[in-house]
Structure 1
Amino acid sequence: MSCKTAEDVSDRFQASFFAMCRLHAFQWDALETELKASSEPSGVILDILKKTCLHSICCKTPPSVRYRRLFLLELIKRHERTAAEPLDELYDALAEVVGAEEEPVCYKTYLLPSGEPVSLEENVAFISEGTTGLVTWEAALYLSEWALENPHVFAGRTVLELGSGAGLTGIVVCRACKPTKYVFSDCHESVLQRLRNNVHHNGLTEHGNPKSVSACVEELVWESVSDEQLQRIGADVVIAADVVYDPDIIGCLVRLLAKLLVFKKEQHLEVYIASTIRNPRTYDCFRDELEKAGLKHLVITHPVAHIFPYTRAATIEMLKLHC
């Protein structure tokens, strides 16, 4: 097996580890193949260890203690199968997490194609069986990947994101697509505070300059947003991911989208909505409401490269809206 293949395996492990993917989703078979083919299986394991638990990202923005412990135990099990001498670094890393106290927050980190990390603060209480419920992020990850392939949509423009959540898509757009201004928005105070933490942690501020984006977080209540607030934001592009999940909020969401499109009809506002279709009835309701509001939509069918580690088992649909 070539050095390139070993590097590919360790890089995939690194991406999955920092994104806190379910452990059974790791490419253990590929690792087993590499270990059997290698004359130095301990070196393969050590390389993975250096790119995960011993990496600087793990020191600064670590996954949960429990997740790291489960990962190390699985890595040790795979190494022991090779009958190689025990690897001290593995057991030292395990001893560190066994004795560590779980913090209230941990971090899920996604690596951009450039290698630059996007780290999101997570509440440990939401984590179960080594996962942070990645399913809720599928459309946000998909929209982020689409943005990376279509930076021209955002470059030099003012972007408003509806329902930003933890801020993944917006941080990716700010890092890689060069908008002039990016407005993250949500309506719940606890979500807004976590969002502010993540925006600040990833080095984004309101004080942009010709070489950086101006990024801010706003409370935006769909039912009561004012024309003055929308005018002040002055969006050229509006995006949202995973906002079509509750039939009770579809009406106010569509009314807001209609207001935005009518408000900037002359400026040709672009609106993109990415949705994980978990309940077809709810999604059909959304499309029906768009039609009733006189909003046309185009399904974006161009395939998007799979950059981040997550499953695409569910159907994800991207719509571009216009009047």
Structure 2
Amino acid sequence: MADSSSPSINSSRRMKFLKAAFRAMEPPNCFVSLAKQIGGGSITEEVQTYILEHCINNVVEGNAYNSMYVRNILKKIILAAESTSEVTMDGLYEQLTLHMTLQRDEDSLKEKSRIFKEISFLFPGYDDCSDSLDLVFPLQCSLNMLEGDTGCALWPSSLFLSEIIVTYQDTFSNKVCFEVGSGAGLIGISLIRVGASEVVLTDGDESTLANMKYNLELNKLPLETKVLQKTNVVCKHLKWESPSKRELQHYRPDIVLGADIIYDPICVPHLIQVLSILLSGNANDCESTHHDEDQRNNTSDGDVMKVEPPIAYIAQVIRNHETFNYFLKLAEESYLCVVDITEEKQPYNLLPYMLSYDRSSVRLFKVSSLRNCNILSSSAVSIRELRGLP
């Protein structure tokens, strides 16, 4: 994929990166770096005009974005323009003055702990700057991560797994998808948009669950009903330490998903239990498979539908190798096969404007159950390889 400074990318398209970065609330330093890239190394008058007309002015009219963020953007853009350009537009100073007057309200409110972002997936086809090619998901997210509100934040693994879903749409289309630890809901919304037949979103934290439901409504995706004439959406409270085996087996997912769910060694055994239940399927699966094989002898090849066992895709930034190795150990003991497929399953760069997003830090793992009778036990070698065992 070409980066945002590539001459092959249409100029209008590159400008659009600024709007996407602003609405995603990219850190101000990253926003300024992007603006310099687009301006060929400086904050040109053209770039300043675009920022005013398509980013800042829209905020004033709609009052939709955190004003402290807007002030920080304006301050850094003005400093960068003064040092790299011949002209610094008066409109930038005027808008900064306007937003400085809003500060008195923030001094008492201390800024809302939750803010709105828009995550835009910009599809390849840079010669066309049409909005119709893109997916834009508004989300209410948290700024309060240090106070335990991590479930409402957006993490690199969620962005990566969403890129995977949007890139490989056929993999998830018409599938029953079950997400463990759904957080802000970006992955679930992506699944709905690519046409999964059913999407089950779960989280163990009630506050996170409420925020996730709000984000579904924000994207006009009502719960417990058909949306987009295809997808049934279910939102459930699920604590890993006390899962209902019968309830989990009821969903019979084709695909299980999770992003940044391997983080606490105390939670790992419970996570393994949930994955084992979801991936083993119903106790009658093996009998059904043998029955299907018997029927295959009496059915023409063209009429046979192959039933695949459920699999999981887990996107993870490995911050603590000891915790991750513990996950692999328990997975092996529970007859779960874990394979790193990061290199073979690369997504399109659908977030080219998001300079703060380090895609290279995320690994993608495919997990399957060896208890399924049509999975070869020899694949357990993959776990040993991941752990560096002979």
TM-score interval w.r.t. the shorter chain? 0.7 to 0.9
Q: Are 1:111 and 2:120 matched, yes or no?
A: yes
Higher deviation after alignment, 12-21 or 252-261: 12-21
Higher deviation after alignment, 148-157 or 306-315: 306-315
Per-residue Cα deviation, 1:60-103 (whole angstroms, up to 9, x for no partner): 752x2211110111122233342326332x23432343233445
Identity of aligned residues (%): 25
2:231 aligns with 213
User: Which of 25, 28, 34 lines up with 1:23 in the alignment?
Assistant: 28
1:273 aligns with 314
Per-residue Cα deviation, 1:230-260 (whole angstroms, up to 9, x for no partner): 2443322110010001111111111111111
| Equivalent-residue separation in structure 1 for 2:203 and 2:58 (angstroms) | 33
User: Which of 289, 297, 311 lines up with 2:358 in the alignment?
Assistant: 311
Verify the 8 A CA contact 2:67 2:99 in the aligned structure 1.
Answer: yes
| Equivalent-residue separation in structure 1 for 2:362 and 2:35 (angstroms) | 26
1:320 aligns with 367
Q: CA deviation at 1:10?
A: 2.3
Q: Secondary structure at the match of 2:221?
A: coil
User: Which of 15, 25, 33 lines up with 1:10 in the alignment?
Assistant: 15
User: Which of 73, 78, 83 lines up with 1:71 in the alignment?
Assistant: 73
Cα separation, partners in 2 of 1:280 and 1:160, compared to 1, 3 Å: same
Higher deviation after alignment, 149-158 or 53-62: 53-62
Q: Secondary structure at the match of 2:361?
A: coil
Higher deviation after alignment, 8-17 or 222-231: 8-17
Per-residue Cα deviation, 1:9-50 (whole angstroms, up to 9, x for no partner): 4233223222222222332542452658xxxx3232111333
Q: Are 1:243 and 2:248 matched, yes or no?
A: no
Q: CA deviation at 1:194?
A: 1.0
| Equivalent-residue separation in structure 2 for 1:58 and 1:243 (angstroms) | 39
Q: Secondary structure at the match of 1:225?
A: coil
TM-score by length of structure 2 reads 0.71
User: Which of 271, 276, 290 lines up with 1:258 in the alignment?
Assistant: 276
Which runs of 5 or more structure 2 residues have no equivalent in the other structure?
123-132, 287-306, 371-390
Cα separation, partners in 2 of 1:13 and 1:209, compared to 1, 3 Å: closer
Q: Are 1:163 and 2:192 matched, yes or no?
A: no
Q: Are 1:189 and 2:206 matched, yes or no?
A: yes
Q: Which amino acid aligns with 2:29?
A: H
Q: CA deviation at 1:164?
A: 0.4
| Equivalent-residue separation in structure 1 for 2:228 and 2:21 (angstroms) | 35
Which runs of 5 or more structure 1 residues have no equivalent in the other structure?
none
Verify the 8 A CA contact 1:298 1:320 in the aligned structure 2.
Answer: yes
| Equivalent-residue separation in structure 2 for 1:59 and 1:217 (angstroms) | 30
| Equivalent-residue separation in structure 2 for 1:207 and 1:20 (angstroms) | 31
Matches within 5 A, 1:273-292: 273-292=314-333
2:191 aligns with 173
Verify the 8 A CA contact 1:298 1:319 in the aligned structure 2.
Answer: yes
TM-score by length of structure 1 reads 0.85
Verify the 8 A CA contact 1:136 1:242 in the aligned structure 2.
Answer: no
2:40 aligns with 33
Q: Which amino acid aligns with 2:314?
A: I
| Equivalent-residue separation in structure 2 for 1:33 and 1:133 (angstroms) | 38
Q: Which amino acid aligns with 2:134?
A: G
Verify the 8 A CA contact 2:338 2:365 in the aligned structure 1.
Answer: no
Q: Which amino acid aligns with 2:349?
A: H
1:147 aligns with 165
Cα separation, partners in 2 of 1:33 and 1:209, compared to 1, 3 Å: closer
Q: CA deviation at 1:117?
A: 1.6
Q: Secondary structure at the match of 2:280?
A: helix
| Equivalent-residue separation in structure 2 for 1:171 and 1:294 (angstroms) | 31
1:234 aligns with 252
